[in-house]
Amino acid sequence: MYGFTSVSTKEVDLEAGNGETLYPGLGLGENQLRWGLIRRVYGILAAQLVLTTAVSTVTILYTPINTLLTGSAGLLLFLSIIPFLLLWPLHVYHQKHPVNLIVLGLFTVSLSLLVGATGM
C-alpha cells in the first residue's frame, strides 16, 4: 500500500544450540567453548540449588539439628559469619579446579544451614 516490500526475516533462536553460532561473527570453536561454559555454569547452579534444598530440609526436619540451632544463638551467629569468611578462599582459589569446587560447596552448605535455620 505504501510501497514497502515484504522482507522475509528468518527467526534465529540463539539459545537452541543447534550447531549454529551463538552470536553472529563467532567461529565454531568459540561457539562450542561458550556453550560449554553456559552448561557448566548452569550445572553448578543446579547442584547448588539441590544441595541447598537437601541441607535445609534435613536442618528443618531432623530434630537434633533443629533443637541445636534454635537453642544456641552463638552457633547461629557463627553460622552467619562463616559465609563471609569463605568469600576470601573463594576469591583466592577461583582458578584452582578441585579446591574451588570444594570451597564453593562449603559456602553453599553454610548458607543452606542458615536457610534451614530461618525456616524453623
This prediction has a pTM of 0.71
- Total structural domains within the chain: 1
Q: Is 46 inside a domain boundary?
A: yes
Q: Is 23 inside a domain boundary?
A: no
Q: Is 21 inside a domain boundary?
A: no
Return the pLDDT at 33: 81
Is the pLDDT reported for residue 7 higher than 60? no
Residue with cell 524453623: 120
Q: Is 13 inside a domain boundary?
A: no
Rounded CA separation 24/96 (Å): 32
| Domain assignment of residue 113, given as a range | 29-118
Q: Is 54 inside a domain boundary?
A: yes
Q: Is 58 inside a domain boundary?
A: yes
Asked if residue 76 lies in contact with residue 117, where contact means CB atoms within 8 angstroms, the answer is: yes
Q: What is the mean pLDDT of residues 33-57?
A: 92
Q: Is 2 inside a domain boundary?
A: no
Q: Is 16 inside a domain boundary?
A: no
Return the pLDDT at 27: 67
Give burial (CB, 10 Å; 0-12/13-18/19+) of 59: buried
**Three-state DSSP class for residue 62:** coil
Cell of 92: 583466592
